[in-house]
Structure 1
Amino acid sequence: MTDPSQIQKARDVFFAHKGLPVDQIGHSILRSWIRCADMGLDAQTVPPVSAPTASEIRLLHEKHEALRRISRPELDALYTEAREISGIVILTNAKGEILDAVGDPTFADKAAQVALRPGALWSEDGTGTNAIGTALAERRAVVVNGAEHYFQSHQVLTCAATPIIDPRGAIIGVLDISAPASRENGHTIGLVRMAVEQIEHRLFRGGFDGCQTLRFQTDPNLLGVAREGILVVRNGIIVAANRRGLSLIGRTWDRLDELHVEEVFDIHPGHLASGRLKALDGRDFFAQVDGEETGQALPVGPQQSLEDIELSTIRQALAAHSGNVSAAARHLGIHRSTIYRRIPNA
């Protein structure tokens, strides 16, 4: 967790207009503070809080029922983690409107006092620097601790959030764990990332009309589960992907609709098939192509639960670091206690 005294020094410099505390605060937090100041937000005031009616919340839920349904397993799985740190798990839409909040009932009541409740909007333009709004603005996982929040009234919180990105690269929501600022929760961002990875993987389940779905990884045991790379190909052009797929081929979302699959892999146009797949940079992958002959999705490995993914990921990290729990925890962005809870004999 960031040193509170360093955060306060950064606030003293920034809000007194003495300069930019680039060495005292994380760059994503500083960029958010700058955006908030540019929008004219006054950190000394209490941000306005709207109170949506039951009817408005019901309409919000109906509009985003698909996102709520596909995210429910992860909310349920993170519920226990949230309660252990006296916190809550939050799901929002792409605007930052809270759809669901579950967790410790005592903290949930306190959180509602600062508008961490269904229907409330937590985008930066209304609520300043916060994990949900800043994750939306930065398009990446964000942790905001205590006084890193722009508004003083939010400094009672510590939050970790990751945006949920659809196969076309659009943000469709945010998953967040928020807890009292007094609680150590440095491990939660790793858990939230893994949960979002599972949600995003589930978005590819139904297949895509007129397309081939390429699932690939360096380890064949990872095919069919959330840690596989996925590219969706139409007429030889990559039109959708998950984050891991783009990371494996070293590309970004802005290459969708223009990148030909033969620019990445050593294949002849129109000959994408399951089996071994070699990248043009020489790397070898194992691949499975859904719908390569019939246009129907082929069966893939069983969908893993979040608990299964956590255990598998932790074991891989421990193996990669020769059983060193501290090194594995740093690699995963989680606390050592999380590893010991999952694998008592680690």
Structure 2
Amino acid sequence: MIATTAVQEARRAYFKQGVLPADQLGHAILRSWMRCSDMGLDAAAPAAAPDASAAEMRALQDRHEALRRLCRPELDALHAEARETGGIVILTNPEGVVLDAVGDPGFAGRAAQVALRPGAAWQEGAAGTNAIGTAIAERRPVAVHGAEHFFDAHRELTCAAAPIVDGRGAVMGVLDMSGHAAVQHLHALGLVKLAVEQIEHRLFQQAFAGCTVVRFHSDAALLGAARQGVLVFDDDRLVAANKRGLSLTGRSWADLDETRFDDLFDADLTRLEGPAQLVTAAGDRFHAAVDRTGLGASRPAPAALSDAPLRDTELAAMRAALDACNGNVSAAAKRLGVHRATLYRRLLSA
């Protein structure tokens, strides 16, 4: 977190003098300010209030009920932490619209002026620089403190948020902790990141029927834990992964559908059984567990995020995004939070 005086100086340089304060502000915050300026936002404008009716809000929550259930344990756990500092915990949908907000009622009352309540839209285009919207835009955990927010009306807030990403790299929602900027929230970002790791771990318990799942880590004791790497192969083609699995193998979401098992490890996937040792081309060694029944197929799978199969839901979301963006693939990919190449491949294979 940048010191308050430095941020105030950065605001003066950027908003009053038209100078980029590259040495006074975190790069993610500066990139967000620039995006907001490019969208024509006015930092002095009042904060927008939620515009969803009660009926629209119920329908929105119903559409994301499985996500809300999946995240409830972390919402409750983070609420216990936020209560210590009079904060609030927020879950949004992939577009940054608040689905649930739990926390100190007194703080929530004050925060109503800056729309920290269900139905509020926190994507950057509506709310400027903020932890939720900037985490979606940057596709990574972000903390935004006080005057780092684009809008003057949000200066009283300090926020930490992380996107919840599925095995195909699509953003499913965002988890956020927010509080008053005058109160220190030293560990908020770390707590949110850990909570999202647990959510994504459970999200991965959905069955991948007919696929081979490889769990791996340099520490055998961490196999089965949220911090393990997970890669999912259809035959020997990589079709899904968690963030840890991609990081450990030096890959990204753009490598899904294009990467083969032997591109990653010096081994034959068809011959791997049970506990195994894997070695990468770079010589990194991992303990691994191989499951050929599909992740979670040996036990009842938890409720999916919709009644449709995972790939059908993903395809429907991609087509809806394309329609909303008038067929612009780049804009649709950005809206979904996936790589453009992934969107092309998924649509062509449908």
TM-score normalised by the shorter chain: which range applies?
A: 0.7 to 0.9
The alignment's C-alpha RMSD in Å is 1.7
Task: Choose 204-213 or 70-79, whichever is displaced more.
Answer: 204-213
What secondary structure is seen at the aligned counterpart in 1 of 2:270?
coil
Q: In the alignment, what sits opposite 1:242?
A: 242
Distance in 2 (alpha carbons) for counterparts of 1:108 and 1:83: 11
User: Which residue pairs with 1:228 in the alignment?
Assistant: 228
* 2:250 maps to amino acid: G
| Contact 1:264–1:280 under 8 Å retained in 2 | yes
Contact 1:290–1:298 at 8 Å: present in 2 too?
no
Return closer, same or farther for 1:295/1:122 CA change in 2, 3 Å cut-off. Answer: closer
Q: Name the CA distance, whole Å, in 1 between partners of 2:2 and 2:88.
A: 21
2:212 equivalent to 1:215: no
1:219-272 deviation per Cα after TM superposition (whole angstroms, max 9, x unaligned): 111111101100000010110000000011111110000100111111125334
3-state SS, counterpart of residue 91 of structure 1: strand
* Local SS of the residue matching 2:126: helix
Evaluate the alpha carbon distance shift between residue 269 and residue 225 of structure 1 in structure 2; reply closer, same or farther with a 3 A threshold: closer
Q: CA deviation at 1:278?
A: 2.0
Within 5 Å, give how 1:1-346 maps onto structure 2. Answer: 1-268=1-268, 270-274=270-274, 275-291=276-292, 296-297=297-298
Alpha-carbon deviations, 1:311-338, whole Å to 9, x = none? Answer: xxxxxxxxxxxxxxxxxxxxxxxxxxxx
Equivalent residue for 2:309? Answer: none
List alignment gaps of at least 5 residues for structure 1. 300-346
Give SS of 1:164's match.
strand
Q: Distance in 1 between matches of 2:48 and 2:205?
A: 40
Q: Please give the secondary structure, in 1, of the residue aligned with 2:200.
A: helix
Q: Contact (CA 8 Å) 1:141, 1:160: kept in 2 or not?
A: yes
Judge conservation of contact 2:87–2:103 (CA < 8 Å) in 1: yes
Could you tell me which amino acid in structure 2 is paired with residue 194 of structure 1? L
Give the % identical residues: 55
Indicate the residue corresponding to 1:313 in structure 2. none
User: Structure 1 residues 267, 295: closer, same or farther in 2, change over 3 A?
Assistant: farther
Letter in 2 for 1:120: A
Q: Is the 1:75–1:89 Cα contact (8 Å) retained in structure 2? A: yes
Q: For residues 9 and 42 of structure 1, what CA distance do their matches in structure 2 show?
A: 18
The residue that corresponds to 2:336 in the other structure is none
**Are the structure 2 counterparts of residues 145 and 293 from structure 1 closer, same or farther at C-alpha, using a change threshold of 3 Å?**
closer
Paired letter, 2:281: L
Tell me the CA shift for residue 53 of structure 1: 2.0
In structure 2, relative to structure 1, the CA distance for the partners of 1:295 and 1:65 (3 Å cut) is closer
SS in 2 for 1:13: helix
Secondary structure of 2:271's match?
Answer: coil
d(CA) in 1 for partners of 2:272, 2:263: 13
Report the TM-score, using the length of structure 2 for normalisation. Answer: 0.82
SS in 2 for 1:56: helix
Change (3 A) 1:186 1:29: same
Q: Which amino acid aligns with 2:215?
A: R
Looking at structure 1, the residues matched to 233 and 116 of structure 2 have their Cα atoms a distance apart, in angstroms, of 40
- How many residues are matched? 299
Distance in 2 (alpha carbons) for counterparts of 1:31 and 1:294? 38
Q: Distance in 1 between matches of 2:66 and 2:293?
A: 28
Distance 1:56 1:117 in 2: 14
How far, CA to CA, are the matches of 1:293 and 1:46 in structure 2? 50
Is the 2:130–2:159 contact (alpha carbons within 8 Å) kept by the matching residues of 1?
yes
Gaps of 5+ in 2: 301-350
What SS does the corresponding residue of 1:9 show, helix, strand or coil?
A: helix
